[in-house]
Amino acid sequence: TTVWEVALLEKVMILVPLGLHASRGDQIRNARYFSERDAAMIVGDLNRENAAVLEMLSRFAVDDNERKRLGARARKLVRDDASKRISDILIGYNNMETDE
């Protein structure tokens, strides 16, 4: 959920998903979802890719436009009405039960 919340806040993301050995794969799917839409950067392994992470951090530290661009793209991928949508579904379900 953190990835989706960060996207909602339009923050740039450098994602380091857990591998299949340590997760169900949902972190990988979420990271790919944002990365494939040019809304986040993925680092596969912090231990082996320190230079890549430092390069990304340096770039974002000096390039406000790139940081804002990625954040804005991430924001476009998420909805901010989840609680309303869930409550509407539950109310609809409750109304279906009372109609019977």
Residues forming a β-bridge with 14: 41
31-49 pLDDT, tens digit each:
999 999 999 999 886 667 7
- Max CA separation in the chain (angstroms): 63
Helical pair 64-76 and 50-62, crossing angle rounded to 10 deg: 100
83, 91, 94, 100 from 33: Cα distances, Å: 22, 31, 34, 41
Which pLDDT belongs to residue 98?
60
Is residue 100's pLDDT more than 90? no
pLDDT of residue 31: 92
Q: What is the pLDDT of residues 62-89, one digit of tens each?
A: 989 998 999 999 999 988 887 888 888 8
Q: What is the mean pLDDT of the chain?
A: 85
**Is it the case that residue 52 has pLDDT exceeding 90?**
no
Q: Read off the pTM.
A: 0.69
Q: What is the per-residue pLDDT for 83?
A: 81
Distance CA 11, CA 83 (A): 21
**Paired tokens of 59:** 């770039």
Residue 59 phi/psi, 5° resolution? -60, -45
